[in-house]
């Protein structure tokens, strides 16, 4: 199966590229996704070896902060069954976990965030989900062509 590319959004006040970098072994679970479409991608489509743009959302500026890689494919999100967790869901059970997560590994951090405004004005990224108005999914596919364009752009931010 061919490697895929993704954009994962997180508010840096909740979990940032630095949080990932400073996690034990530079790896962490990407938990707390509570949108069914994003959940389905985590459960069914995101696989070990896939590459991820780590995107800081609800930040100044919002944009790509670095890269990570998937090191464990989708598995039940244990936070859904923890009543102490902000991600608790009373409908989640061992037989019906409802929510899924993956594990990611830190790859690199940009010296400065590549702002959304730059992505929106870059030829070849017009159809990229994150550049479209109303696009709020926290897990988004990135096409190989979009990935190549962004990797070239990243040289200015490394």
Token couple for 10: 């997180």
Task: Report the distance separating Cα 96 and Cα 151, nearest Å.
Answer: 39
User: pTM (2 decimals)?
Assistant: 0.96
- The per-residue pLDDT for range 22-67, each reduced to its tens digit, is 999 999 999 999 999 999 999 999 999 999 999 999 999 999 999 9
User: What was the pLDDT predicted at 136?
Assistant: 85
The stretch 130-149 carries a mean pLDDT of 94
The stretch 123-149 carries a mean pLDDT of 95
User: What was the pLDDT predicted at 2?
Assistant: 84
Question: How high is the mean pLDDT of the chain?
Answer: 96
Given a cut of 80, whether residue 89 has pLDDT beyond it is: yes
User: What is the Cα Rg of the chain in Å?
Assistant: 15
The stretch 109-115 carries a mean pLDDT of 97
Ramachandran angles phi, psi of 9, nearest 5°: -100, 140
The domains of the chain, with CATH numbers, are 5-154 (3.10.590.10)
Task: Report the distance separating Cα 74 and Cα 101, nearest Å.
Answer: 5
User: What was the pLDDT predicted at 118?
Assistant: 97
* Region of residue 94 (left: phi > 0; alpha: psi -120 to 50; beta: else): alpha
Given a cut of 90, whether residue 115 has pLDDT beyond it is: yes
Given a cut of 70, whether residue 1 has pLDDT beyond it is: no
């Amino acid at each position: 199966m061919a490697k895929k590319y993704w954009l994962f959004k997180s508010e840096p006040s909740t979990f940032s590229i630095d949080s990932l970098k400073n996690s034990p072994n530079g790896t962490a679970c990407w938990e707390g996704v509570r949108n069914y479409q994003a959940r389905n991608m985590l459960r069914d489509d995101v696989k070990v070896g896939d590459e991820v743009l780590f995107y800081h959302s609800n930040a100044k500026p919002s944009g790509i902060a670095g890269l990570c890689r998937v090191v464990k494919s989708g598995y039940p999100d244990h936070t859904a069954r923890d009543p102490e967790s902000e991600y608790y869901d009373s409908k989640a059970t061992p037989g019906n976990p409802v929510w899924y997560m993956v594990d990611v590994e830190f790859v690199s951090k940009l010296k400065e965030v590549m702002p959304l405004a730059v992505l929106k004005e870059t030829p070849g990224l017009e159809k990229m989900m994150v550049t479209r108005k109303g696009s709020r999914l926290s897990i988004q596919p990135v096409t190989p062509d979009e990935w190549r364009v962004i990797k070239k752009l990243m040289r200015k931010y490394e």
